[in-house]
Structure 1
């Protein structure tokens, strides 16, 4: 699955393949699926009053790492995460995540037969 979105006036393509979890492990030395499960814990915060608690419990590094690995899967020429992120003046995380959540979901879901 692949999707292109605009971030800071730059077209960025994201892709999820069977190799995405392995690429994530090779770069970050963490299990891709375990990191996704950590994000799922944030779903328990549904009300606006829970926003502060959600932010306290969120590890935003996970978001940046997942975004990077999906971009790297689409374009192998992308540099290391910090160098790549330094190329953006603005990186609206809370606008990017909803755009790529289907890619994240596709990497952990199976297709029904």
Structure 2
């Protein structure tokens, strides 16, 4: 899956593909799916982001501190960079990539990333033809 997002006048191409978990492990030394499932457990912060009006920013008083106990804010940075790397293997190294960014508006970026994560995690089971089922059961 491919998406584009513009941040502060710069358009970033993002992709999720078979290389994504490999790039994540190579760069961060962590398992992509373990981090992803840990993030899913922090859905409360994402719900708060969804409740914001256009132009409204997430403020500290909007968040119950207990929500943040398991939330890793750099997760969005890691995922964003690895999706950029999956779209373009020649993307700048992680630190250089972010040193050039003026801002990183999580409230705008998180929905795009979550949509890509959801699409990447969904699978479709191909229907077997009747002939294949019969052949398989007779073996």
TM-score normalised to the size of structure 2? Answer: 0.72
Tell me how far apart the structure 2 counterparts of residues 29 and 104 of structure 1 sit (CA, whole Å).
19
Q: Secondary structure at the match of 2:111?
A: helix
**2:110 matches 1:97:** yes
Q: Tell me which residue corresponds to 1:37.
A: 37
Larger radius of gyration: 2
Q: Identify unmatched segments of 5+ residues in structure 2.
A: 52-61, 127-139
Change (3 A) 1:51 1:95: farther
What does 1:1-113 correspond to in 2, within 5 Å? 1-44=1-44, 51-113=64-126
Greater RCO (CA < 8 Å, at least 6 residues apart): 1
> Deviation at 1:90?
1.0
> Deviation at 1:50?
5.6
Alignment root-mean-square deviation, CA: 2.0
Tell me how far apart the structure 1 counterparts of residues 22 and 9 of structure 2 sit (CA, whole Å).
30
Change (3 A) 1:28 1:50: same
TM-score normalised to the size of structure 1? Answer: 0.87
> Deviation at 1:51?
3.6
Tell me how far apart the structure 1 counterparts of residues 125 and 115 of structure 2 sit (CA, whole Å).
16
Greater Cα offset, 72-81 or 34-43:
72-81
Q: Identify unmatched segments of 5+ residues in structure 1.
A: none
> Structure 1 residue runs of 4+, over 3 Å off?
44-51
Q: 1:5-24, CA deviations, whole angstroms, 9 ceiling, x for partnerless residues? A: 10121000100001110111
Tell me how far apart the structure 1 counterparts of residues 119 and 23 of structure 2 sit (CA, whole Å).
16
Aligned residues: 113
